[in-house]
A and B are shown apart, each in its own frame.
Chain A
Amino acid sequence: MEKNFIIAGFGGQGVLLAGEVLANAFMLDNKNVTWYPSYGAEMRGGTVNCEIVMNDSEDVSSVNKNETDFVIALNQASFDRFLPKVKKGGWMIAISTLVDKIQSRNDIHYFFAPMTKLADELGNVRMTNILSLGILANISSLTDADSLVKALENVIPPHRKNLLPMNINALKIGYEYDLSLAKA
């Protein structure tokens, strides 16, 4: 089984970091995983994305996929750009505080959550990226909160370890977010 994920948003939202955490979680789950960024003349405030390909076979993952199983869109530009790439039956997980809830495709699943609002209530809007991973883990069932917490411990550097508890909180709020709320 091979599944792929795109996490996309503004430069500065922690899109690449969120991808690194997710990839680490898959590694800790003993899966094969590949992470690669879109890179070019990127800048803070511009759009940025990374793709994570996970598989549970011995094989090396292929890259540059035509279609995606899961997209996390953290801004409108990313939502618009990656909506056509979502695989039939796949998921578009979007930030409802920044994205118009227009569902122009009926062959995919949508999930809108007010991630910036939730992160803000937690005390730091910059936790949005990690919060979105919790939602993704819950929806996809391809990894869980435990692996993601361990992944956070791997990824957050020693001099930023004071931010670990808040990140773990954000992860849990995302993971425990009531999926039925998103339909409203």
Chain B
Amino acid sequence: MTECLTKTNKKVLTKGNYAIANAAVIAGCECYFGYPITPQSEIGEFMSGKMQELKRAYVSAESELAAINMVIGACSTGAKAMTSSSSCAVSLMQEALSYAASDELPVVLVSVMRGGPGLGNIYPSQGDYNQATVGGGNGDYKLIVLAPATVQECVDLTYKAFYLAHKYKNPTILLADGLLGQMMEPVEFTDYPYPEVDNSSWALSGAKGRPARVIRSYAPSADDQCEFLKRLHAKYKLIEENETQWEEFNTEDADIVLVSFGSPARNTKSAMKQCRKLGLKVGFLRPVTLYPFPSKRIAELAQTAKKIISVEINMGQMIRDIKLAVNGKVPVELLNRPVGNPPSVEEIVERIKKESEEL
């Protein structure tokens, strides 16, 4: 069933990976380049059929390196193009992402995280928070990073990834994990809800009737590079002001604020609700954009909360951004699973009970 394009206003039960792929098609993705890797192979599988059917471009690339560079090529013409991959293979794309950021190209990368470092394993993980938000490429660049927590959000944030990438001419990552990729939930595929971005002022569309354009990642003069970096970072500031997205519940009077993104945010929110029933003052905040990170809001919460706990499936990566935001005001602790399924609701509740006693 999920093999068909489903742009209906009816709910269908779909896997996260298919949801992402179908949403990309609806968003108008014209080119998909990819190389298979678990746990996101269904994205390429879906695209291999659907893109051909719609007479759009699908290339099964010879490597991840080739795939991301093909995306750069397609994006430089203003096309909506994407690739998808996972952890150790996203590592291979870091150089290209730095170039794409410097070239200001609307690259869309779907990263469905698995266990690492190295080859790791194929279980769910959030070990690439740093890889996505800090990056492994050279230079002062930022990528927009969106983190879904449900299959419906896999759809909604895929739409948004294409929009933001083109709006800001900036590479954008949809950062999911193996659990979300393999999970099925009822979703609705609406029409693409964003306006089309005009790229006629910069796209390499053929120089007939206009001066030739060059997109390059090279400024031989020191002054030029200074100016370029200032302009690039003014853009990042704009992104931070306009696009920071999060959701929060019961934070107003919370002694303990739980912060979690992606699939573990589900159990974290349930745990918060159970704690409230027990009379514990617990709140919950979920960053939807990891870059830009909701630092300002977390700093505000640190004025009233007594403790912040970061719930992650890694050895503690987002916790650094929380600590930077909190700036020593209150203690920030970690509740984590190194890899695999998220901490259970009961496990989180137990931890909060213990932390509450120590407040």
Q: Interface residues, chain A, CB within 8 Å of chain B?
A: 20, 23-24, 27, 32-37, 39-41, 59-66, 154-155, 157
Contact = CB atoms under 8 A, between A and B. Distances in A.
A62 B270 contact: yes
Contacts of A155: 1
A59 B270 contact: yes
Given A34-B183, A64-B342, A24 B266 contact: no
B184 A35 contact: yes
B185 interface: yes
Nearest to A153: B1
Contact of A36 (B179, B271, B347): B179
A36 B270 contact: no
Nearest to A67: B346
A22 to B, nearest CB: 10
Given A34-B185, A36-B182, A65 B269 contact: no
Nearest to B185: A34
A64 B178 CA distance: 14
B12 to A, nearest CB: 8
A66 B179 contact: no
Given A39-B122, A63-B183, A64-B342, 16 more contacts: A20-B184, A27-B11, A27-B13, A33-B185, A34-B184, A35-B183, A36-B179, A39-B39, A59-B269, A62-B269, A62-B270, A62-B344, A63-B342, A64-B344, A66-B345, A157-B3
A59 B123 CA distance: 25
Interface residues of B, number: 32
B87 to A, nearest CB: 16
B225 interface: no
Interface string B132-160: 00000000000000000110000000000
Given A39-B122, A155-B1, A61 B266 contact: yes
Contacts of B12: 154
A23 B12 CA distance: 11
A69 to B, nearest CB: 15
A164 B123 CA distance: 34
B182 A20 contact: no
Interface in B1-30: 1, 3, 11-13
A114 B346 CA distance: 36
B263 interface: yes
A60 B342 contact: no
B266 A63 contact: yes
A64 B185 contact: no
28 contacts: A27-B11, A27-B13, A32-B186, A33-B186, A34-B183, A34-B184, A35-B185, A36-B179, A39-B122, A39-B178, A40-B121, A40-B122, A60-B149, A60-B150, A60-B266, A62-B269, A62-B270, A62-B271, A63-B267, A63-B342, A64-B267, A64-B343, A64-B344, A66-B345, A154-B12, A154-B13, A155-B1, A157-B3
B63 interface: no
Contact of B179 (A59, A60, A63, A65): A63
A62 B267 contact: yes
A23 B184 contact: yes
Contacts of B11: 27
A24 B123 CA distance: 25
Contacts of A27: 11, 13, 186
B199 interface: no
Contacts of B3: 157
A61 B347 CA distance: 16
Contacts of B250: none
